[in-house]
Amino acid sequence: MNLHDLFAIPRRRSPEKPALRFQDGGVETVLSYGDLFARVDALAAALAARGISKGDRVAFFLGNRPEFVVAYLAVIRLGAVMVPINLAYRQREITHMLEDSEPRLLITERAQLSILEGMDAGDLLLAEDLGELLGGAGCTPPFVEGGDLAMLLYTSGTTGKSKGAEITHDNVLATVTGLLAAWAWEPADALLLTLPLFHTHGLVVGLHCALAAGATVLLRRRFEAAETASELLAGEPTLFFGVPTMYGRLVEELRARRERGEELDLSRLRLFCSGSAPLSAETFSAFRELTGHEILERYGMTETGMNLSNLYAGARRPGTVGVPLPGVSIRIVDEELQVRGGNVFAGYWRAPEKTAASFVHDELGRRWFKTGDLARQDPETGFITLLGRRHELIISGGFNLYPREVEEVLAGFPGVREAAVVGRPHPDWGEVPVAFLAADASVDTAELIAFCKSQMAGFKVPREIRRIDSLPRNALGKVEKHKLPV
């Protein structure tokens, strides 16, 4: 079974039902299940005629729009592999991903062309031109097995170079079917989706689950607190997924509306979920006080999809990420959380050594993925509390970054002798990067920040730069970041 076999069920059962409703600039585009997958079939045929075949990589560098959904479904229909690129990335990051994945095709939009200028992006296709490809004859898609790759999702690595996690159809199916059961998805659901589709949170947890359930996706280009609050209060959505930053903004917006005397009726909403970064107890409590809803926090990773979740019909404990989802096994070894199940990725793209180092086998020969997260399990409830990263990953606004990558950029600026980057807690973003520099007096901080912005996505740029004489090191010369005055 592959993902299209799962999506074929609502397509056959309710072809006239809206699958996707997209609003932009006051104009709404509505695609029924029949319309959506008819376009998918037509585009798959056009891409096949263009030479896209099973196993080829197709890079996506575009924002939320119906063409993203159609193109993605067409790509995996052919057994090809989707490689999403974060829109916040710039030339250095994009070039690495393109050189590593070697895509046969890059699908983008006019708004992103200036960023790609000068890059060797290979065959290019604009989302705005996809409609011209939908009028041709169909094709017979290849046989796609559950073990075939569906996505290559790039995640930061300790070397500073991002690495591609190989996500199969079976991996995605395991996460989706587990969430369909755990969160009681129904065909009557309507998901307000403001998360970016280039991230697994929006793509898998949001889009895939909704389509598999036969629900309706209310797709938006981006999150805007005022607009999102208005849509939630209008009463159509039944589900909303976000990162803690979004919920912090919603709390501010809803509180301001209440102060103006507006009624906050969110009774139609049955589920608010948060993930990709820790949700603060303060935000949890404030949201509950304003809306009467308790946000359900869950835990997943790029390499594993979803692993743990607070209970839909049960206690939701702030500060915890709940219990294992259906089909997921966990254990804690030397305080590190390890997971096993059909959701766990196949390995890292063209990196067998990194793959081998990320797994361990138990006495029964079972393979466990080492998450790198320190965790504690409540002996009475089984609920898991995450204690932080074993390594130095910083999670800012739901996106992952490793200090090493930022440090390499800082060290490339004239006059910077050495640099260390650590995460500092932030009420909205979860964490933000702070840089400690041993540098010449001639180094101008504003120029250094501008240089970083030209080399990296905005969320990776240090929020603060502190000057020190030298970095604290141990006898072996390793930087002791815990001694830095964060």
CB 273 within 8 A of CB 284: no
Domain membership flag for residue 63: yes
Same domain, 286 and 399: no
**CATH number, residue 455:** 3.30.300.30
Same domain, 307 and 366: yes
Same domain, 244 and 140: yes
For residue 321, pLDDT beyond 70: yes
- Please state, rounded to an integer, the average pLDDT across all residues of the chain: 92
CA–CA dist 329, 471 (Å, integer): 41
User: Quick one: angle between helices 33-49 and 3-13, nearest 10?
Assistant: 140
CB 359 within 8 A of CB 368: yes
Same domain, 373 and 398: no
| Cα atoms in the Cβ-side hemisphere of radius 13 Å centred on 131 | 3
Same domain, 434 and 291: no
For residue 475, pLDDT beyond 50: no
**Single-letter amino acid, residue 422:** V
What tens digit of pLDDT does each residue of 8-37 get? 999 999 999 999 999 988 899 999 999 999
**CATH number, residue 260:** 3.40.50.12780
Domain membership flag for residue 444: yes
Same domain, 180 and 233: yes
Same domain, 176 and 224: yes
What tens digit of pLDDT does each residue of 82-134 get? 999 999 898 889 999 999 999 999 999 999 999 999 888 779 999 999 999 98
Write the DSSP symbol of residue 365.
-
- Give the pLDDT band of residue 486 (cuts 50, 70, 90): low
CA–CA dist 166, 351 (Å, integer): 11
What tens digit of pLDDT does each residue of 253-292 get? 999 999 999 999 999 999 999 998 778 788 899 999 999 9
Apex 398 CA angle, 397 and 402, nearest 5:
90
CB 238 within 8 A of CB 268: yes
Same domain, 219 and 321: yes
Picking from 313, 345, 329, the residue whose alpha carbon sits closest to that of residue 182 is 313
Model pTM score: 0.86
Domain membership flag for residue 325: yes
> How many domains is the chain partitioned into structurally?
2
Q: Which domain holds residue 407?
A: 394-483
Q: How far is CA 456 from CA 164, 226, 234, 302, in A?
A: 18, 29, 38, 20
- Give the pLDDT band of residue 470 (cuts 50, 70, 90): confident
